[in-house]
Amino acid sequence: MSQPFDREPDDLDIAFRAMGDLLASVPHQLGYRLEGSDQLAIQVSGPGGRFLLPVDWPADQPNLHAARQTARAIEAVIHLHPSDAVLLLGYGPEAAERVYALREALRHQLEDTGDNISIAAIQVDQGQWRAFGVGVTGEWHPVPEVPVSILMAGFPAPAASLQEYRQQFQPLPEPTYGALPDSSRDLIDASPPGIRVELADRALQRLADRDPNPLDLPALAHVLDDPAVNHAVVTHTYSDRARLGSLVDAYRGAPSEQQPAVAAAAATALWLHGRIQEAQQVSAHVPDGTYFAASRDQLNALINAGVSPTQTAPRFTAAAETHLKYAETTWSATQPLAPGAPSEPAPPAPQPDADGPQL
Amino acid sequence: MNQTSPDPVRKLFQDILLDRPPSTLPLVDAPEVVTTPIPIGDDDPLAPIMDAAAREAREQDGRQ
């Protein structure tokens, strides 16, 4: 494939002033550095929302074939989320060939489907970046420092590689905490579900603030075993990076008895946060034969069906609130009445899922 | 404390899966390429950076 990389730069560089900030921020958003990998980071944005796609470049294929395959993957996303700009960010010395071939393949793919979308192709290598326009290659620029807004947002420092990042979602070899003492467990079990949610929320916040109480992790893992509490805690966690990170840490260090519930909560929260691959990785550690195994299967079915976590999140929150209210009322109905107190019937239950088809 | 009481979240997920039209494309229709899009919401600190970069890409495209 001919590449007009030897022409003089024009105003291409002037037009891409914001690109440096994006390139500096992407590793923090993805959680790992892409140099030395076969991954591309692709931004798709427009009326259908903003998306960042980490793409595994099929490096064992010729570039032209790999570009066509990758273009099909991007087009499938655009089909679901109408877009008007696609930015192709390639890393490493081979990225120039890859993003150039990909841009051409994507233009061809989108022409076929009648889309009119701006496409930018960028190479990042050894701390520098350059843009490829039509018939022109931009000059090299240093990738700037990470924007303060990204550093202030609580993103952890990116892992050195994708492999190292994925390791962060595997259970630790040994549990980092044990079971709750009997006295504390009995006290917690005697409290209403809303109080248990409050307890879990406060524990997660202390863990996120790195100022935990000694029983925060065992108590959190214990209360998550109740599905109504589990779902409520997920709704209070998925959009907060620090709390989500603490929930993942709780799953990684959980004793085997608690791991299904904590893994299910972490997987669902990761999915709602848009971390789909990580959600799949964590949900694989929810074993068969537990209540949460069905949740795991549902989550995988949603992912395989391409259901948008962003669009599902508000409905999840509403369903979790309904679940918690019902659990609260059911709990109240089981408590001994005070002398002279009027009796209150339990409200009708939400439609049981047993009536619906099972996955 | 594991329980099998009515679970509205489970019901919601079932409904979503049942409502999904069979003709809907899978999220990625390229078996040799693995990608899972990460949605970036309006309140994400990356959002204004992405918007600015996309705007520049569109401006650049208009010049070519």
Per-residue pLDDT reduced to its tens digit, A265-315: 999 999 999 888 899 899 999 999 999 999 999 998 888 777 888 889 999
CATH classification at residue A140: 3.40.140
Q: Say if CB B28 and CB A56 are below 8 A apart.
A: no
B4: contact with A, CB 8 A cutoff: yes
- Owning domain of residue A80: 11-159
B residues 6-25 lying closer than 8 A (beta carbon) to A: 6-18, 20, 24-25
**A201/A329 same-domain check:** yes
**A328/A197 same-domain check:** yes
Query: What is the Cα–Cα distance from A299 to A305, expressed in whole angstroms?
Result: 10
Q: Could you tell me what percent of chain A has a pLDDT over 90?
A: 61
Q: Which of B2, B3, B10 to mutate to test the interface with A (most CBs of A within 10 A)?
A: B10
B34: contact with A, CB 8 A cutoff: yes
Query: Does residue A359 lie in a domain region?
Result: no
Residues in chain B with CB shorter than 8 Å from the CB of A275 are: 38
| A319 contacts B38? CB cut-off 8 A | no
**A305/A189 same-domain check:** yes
Mean pLDDT of chain A: 87
Among A159, A192, A212, the domain boundary falls at: A159
Q: What is the 3-state secondary structure (H, E, C) of A38-69?
A: CEEEEEEEECCEEEEEEEECCCCCCHHHHHHH
Which pLDDT value is given to residue A353? 45
Query: Does residue A75 lie in a domain region?
Result: yes
Among A103, A125, A159, the domain boundary falls at: A159
Which pLDDT value is given to residue A316? 97
Query: Does residue A45 lie in a domain region?
Result: yes
**A139/A201 same-domain check:** no
**A322/A204 same-domain check:** yes
User: Which residue of B14, B30, B50 is in closest CB contact with A45?
Assistant: B50
Query: What is the Cα–Cα distance from B60 to B64, expressed in whole angstroms?
Result: 7
**A52/A116 same-domain check:** yes
Per-residue pLDDT reduced to its tens digit, B4-59: 457 999 999 999 888 865 434 344 445 566 677 888 888 889 999 999 999 988 88
Top pLDDT among A352 and A317 is at: A317
- CA nearest B17 in A: which residue? A302
Q: Say if CB A119 and CB A62 are below 8 A apart.
A: no
* Nearest one of B34, B46, B4 to A55, comparing CA atoms: B34
Of A47-51, A88-92, A134-138, A145-149, the range with the lowest mean pLDDT is A134-138
Query: Does residue A169 lie in a domain region?
Result: no
Residues in chain A with CB shorter than 8 Å from the CB of B55 are: 18, 85
Predicted ipTM of the assembly: 0.74
Among A124, A159, A194, the domain boundary falls at: A159
Per-residue pLDDT reduced to its tens digit, A82-108: 899 999 999 999 999 999 999 999 999
Which pLDDT value is given to residue A352? 44
Q: How many domains does chain A have?
A: 2
Residues in chain B with CB shorter than 8 Å from the CB of A286 are: none
**A114/A193 same-domain check:** no
| A85 contacts B58? CB cut-off 8 A | yes
Residues in chain A with CB shorter than 8 Å from the CB of B59 are: 15
Residues in chain B with CB shorter than 8 Å from the CB of A323 are: 6-9
**A147/A190 same-domain check:** no
Query: Does residue A141 lie in a domain region?
Result: yes
